[in-house]
Amino acid sequence: SPPRSAVIIVGAGISGIAAAKVLVENGVKDVVILEASDRVGGRIRKESFGGVSVELGAGWIAGVGGPLSNPVWELAAKFGIRTCFSDYSNARYNIYDRSGNIIPSGIAADSYQKAVDSAIQMLRNQEEEEGEEEKANHGHGHGDDRFNSNRNNNESKRPSTPETPVELAIDFLLHDFEMAEVEPISTYVDFGEKEFLVADERGYDHLLFKMVEEFLFTSEGRVLDNRLKLNKVVRELQYSKSGVTVKTEDGCVYEANYVILSVSIGVLQSDLLAFNPRLPRWKLEAIEKCDVMVYTKIFLKFPYKFWPSGPEKEFFIYAHERRGYYTFWQHMENAYPGSNILVVTLTNAESKRVEAQPDEETLREAMAVLRDMFGSDIPDAIDILVPRWWNNRFQKGSYSNYPIISNHKVFHNIKAPVGRIFFTGEHTSERFNGYVHGGYLSGIDTSKALLEEMKKEKERNSESQTLL
Ligand code: FAD
């Protein structure tokens, strides 16, 4: 029979690595990390493009300067990761219409306020519905008075829908990027509102490598420790009262007392992994309740810069009658001066549409949008990079997106272990899901819970030994 480890960790993203580190540092050295891809990092991933290092996945350290210290910010400081301050609240003042005119700030501000008001109304309606549902279920309501702004209750309950291109662009900005202005997000409340863009040639994943160096054997930038196994696609988890058998696509079989599963919510919703026996219904239902957000940063390299790059110009918006159509733009001059790279971000349906078409088509669309904004004589991009997080079977999306008013039970059930299988990852973090620090903190949390369980098991075993 195959060798048996204390713990197998499936996935070497930030959560899996954080989980492994906690175990090893607490004396559980007999761990095996099985990673499907050929690298460590998961959704933290750089690629060289246009002469610099660009981040296809996580790009920012979000939540800095607040009452508590963001642990990822601390790690970045400890390992000397280069970052630069980034403020996308300015984006709303750089909105271009299809004729290349910048929307006057008064009009933009009015549309912005309208969008915020309508989003707040929508949340209130949802909250009321949720409250009624919970009352009916005898659950506890959401007692916190989050929306106690001085608005009167008699106004129409129907939120106004965005109609004009400017309103659509702002709606996209609010809902797909800055929901914090409507709904308090724990990341900004706890860790602060500042965001820093990682601008390090070694990549955001250098931070992970430095973490790995502290507990696995590495040499000259490579992990040589055979506890980390790359290109191991887990396909089956067979679990019982006594242990877990893990089977990989290449026909290998691994045994462990426990498994920590760190695959994304998108992967859990897909059929990549078979559980034997099947996962219980409460678990499957919770997994289905969490939405998957697709977020795609498309990189374009130009022979020279033709966009404004002064202060407060890092982000700009394109207002089109189709919501989310090449709306959100960023130049990379702050991170890499002279790199002549633009980034445009698409989400959800637009991301999926673009993933399915050839990159030349995407390039053509992006160039048409840029010519609307900056005129017909701008140069063609000389290179394009389109990440495909949705079609990547080891990701199936970019990050978890819980319905705005989600009840605590869903998080609890997503995270709760099933027998000897423990769950971790960004999506299991109730406060910080969707972020790198959410992944990091969840890994630590899960390993602490597992260490507790191992301790209890040991006690149970020694009790039964004494009885014998
Ligand atoms: P992952 O990093 O996905 O790790 C899971 C690992 O499991 C992966 O390595 C995967 O290959 C592996 N795996 C999957 N299936 C199997 C299998 N069957 N067998 C073995 N291994 C398997 N966060 C921020 O804080 N700031 C940002 O600016 C930001 N921007 C983002 C932009 C994009 C485009 C994306 C995609 C994400 C972004 N995030 C951002 C979110 C952040 O990247 C994630 O929350 C975090 O990296 C998730 O870490 P994780 O360990 O939970 O999951």
The number of folded domains in the chain is 2
Number of C-beta neighbours around residue 465 at 10 A: 8
Domain assignment of residue 329, yes or no = no
pLDDT digits (tens, 9 = 90+) for 329-341: 999 999 999 999 9
Confidence of residue 456 (pLDDT cuts 50, 70, 90): very high
Is 164 within 8 Å of 15 (Cβ atoms)? no
Which atom of ligand 1 is least distant from the CA of 264? Answer: 3
Together in a domain, 172 and 214: no
- Do residues 187 and 252 both lie within one domain? no
Residue 209 sits in the same domain as residue 277: yes
Task: Please indicate whether residue 239, judged by its CB atom, sits closer than 6 Å to ligand 1.
Answer: no
Residue nearest to atom 9 of ligand 1 (CA): 42
126-148 pLDDT, tens per residue? 777 777 766 665 544 333 333 33
Where does a domain end: 196, 217, 234?
A: 196
Mutate to test the pocket of ligand 1, among 263, 343, 400 (most ligand atoms within 8 A of CB): 263
- If you search the block for the tokens 């939120």, which residue do you land on? 159
This model of the complex carries an ipTM of: 0.99
Residue that finishes a domain, picked among 148, 164, 196: 196
Strand partners, 238: 245, 276
User: Residue 370: which residues within 8 A CB-CB, separation 6 or more?
Assistant: 342, 378
Coil, strand or helix at 69: coil
- Residue 196 CB less than 6 A away from ligand 1: no
Amino acid identity, position 410: V
Instruction: Give CA–CA dist 118/121, Å, rounded.
Output: 5
What length does the chain have? 468
Of 43, 55, 209, 232, which is best to mutate to test ligand 1, by the most ligand atoms within 8 angstroms of its C-beta? Answer: 43
Q: What is the CATH number of the domain that holds 12?
A: 3.50.50.60
Same domain for 283 and 414, yes or no, is yes
Residue pair 259/422 in contact (Cβ under 8 Å)? The answer is yes
| Domain span at 161 | 105-196
| Residues 388-442 pLDDT 10s | 999 999 999 999 998 766 678 999 999 999 999 999 999 999 999 999 999 999 9
Asked if the model's pLDDT at residue 279 lies above 90, the reply is yes
Query: 12 or 88, which is more confident?
Result: 12
Query: Ligand 1 in contact with 411 (CB < 6 A)?
Result: no
Ligand 1 close to Cβ of residue 295 (< 6 A): yes
